[in-house]
Amino acid sequence: MKIVVLDGYSLNPGDLSWDALKSLGEVKIYDRTPDDLIIQRAEGAEILLTNKTILTSDIIGRLPNLKYIGVLATGFNVVDAEYARQKDIIVTNVPAYSTMSVAQHTFALILEFYNYPGKFSEEIGKGRWSTNPDFCYWEKPLNELAGKTIGIIGFGRIGRAVARIASAFEMNVTVNEVSEVAGYRNCSLEDLLRESDIVTLHCPLTPETKGMINISRLRIMKPSALLVNCARGPLIVESDLADALNKGMIAGAALDVLSEEPPRPDNPLLKAKNCIITPHVAWATFEARQRLMEIAVDNVKSFLEAKPVNVVN
C-alpha cells in the first residue's frame, strides 16, 4: 500500500514520529508540496494525506489509484470531498484533537489584551522599567475578567471548553444557539454582540457564516469590546474589522486566523490599531499534534481494515 504525505511539516516538524504510519505500508513524506508537484508526488498513491495542500476534482481525477484521502486537520475544505465520493474515494478528517489547546489559546489572546504581559516584557527589555521613577507603571487600564460578559458564537466542543474556563474566571457567559444551553444565557446574535465585553468565534466556516462579522455587526458591539477569532479567518470581513479598529468602533481584536495564510503584506489587519495576531497556532501544542498523529494513523488503520471512521463524505 503506497502512502504519501504531501505536507507533513506543520504536524511534525521533527518532535513526533511517523513510525506508526510507516508500519502500514510504503510511506513517502514531504514537508511541503507546491501545486505543480502534487500530481508527480501523489502518482501511484492509494492513500494520500494532506493538511493544507488543496486537492481539487481535477487533481483527484488524475490519480486513478487513489482510494483514500486523510485530512490532517478537522476542517476538510481543502479536498473536493463530493467529487471524491463520486469516485468512491473515502475522505476522513481528525476531529476533537485540539479542543483544549484552542480554548487555552483563546484565553492567551484575551489575557494579552487585558493584561498585556508580552508588551510589558518587550518594553522592559528595552529599559522602560529601569528608567521609570516609580516601582510600577502602566499606560492603559488593567482590567479583571471577573464580571465581564463573554459571548461565544459556536458552541461545539471548543465553545463549551471556552465557556468552562470563562466560568472559572467568574465571567458571565452568553451563547448564540438554536436551542437552549443549560447553565448559560442564550440570546440572539445581535443581542450577544451588543451586550458582550468579549466576543469569541468558534463556529465552522459555512456559506451562512462566511463574513458574518462585518461592518454592520461591528457597529453593534461595545466600543470597549474585544473580538477574538480562533476559528476560521473568513468569518470576518477583514477590511471592515480594520476600519472598525482604526476608527475606535471597538477596542481591539485578537486573531489566530486570517482569510489568507500566510497573509499578504497588504492585509489591512497587519497594521490595524489594537490588533493582536498569532500565526494560526492555537491547534499546534505538542499534545494536540500528538493526538492528531495518533488519530490520523488510526483513521488509516481503520480504512485498511475496511472499517473506516471519521468519514466526511
d(Cα 215, Cα 238) in Å, to the nearest integer?
10
C-alpha grid cell for residue 41? 508526488
Query: Which ranges in the chain belong to alpha helices (H)?
Result: 19-22, 38-42, 57-61, 81-86, 99-115, 117-125, 157-168, 189-195, 215-218, 238-246, 286-304
Give the bridge partners for 107, in sequence order. none
Q: Indicate if 261 belongs to the active site.
A: yes
d(Cα 67, Cα 186) in Å, to the nearest integer?
44
Q: Count other Cβ atoms within 10 Å, centred on residue 264.
A: 10
Which residue is associated with the grid cell 463574513?
Answer: 211
Q: Report yes or no: 64 and 83 within 8 Å, Cβ to Cβ.
A: no
Pairing of strands 172-175, 149-153: parallel
Residue from 144, 170, 190, 261 carrying the catalytic annotation: 261
Strands of 185-186's sheet in order across = 185-186, 172-175, 149-153, 198-201, 226-229, 252-255, 275-277
Residue from 105, 202, 217, 280 carrying the catalytic annotation: 280
Q: Count other Cβ atoms within 10 Å, centred on residue 234.
A: 16
Q: Indicate if 202 belongs to the active site.
A: no
Residue from 232, 238, 289, 291 carrying the catalytic annotation: 232
Q: Indicate if 123 belongs to the active site.
A: no
Q: Report yes or no: 71 and 258 within 8 Å, Cβ to Cβ.
A: no
Q: Which residues are annotated as catalytic?
A: 232, 261, 280
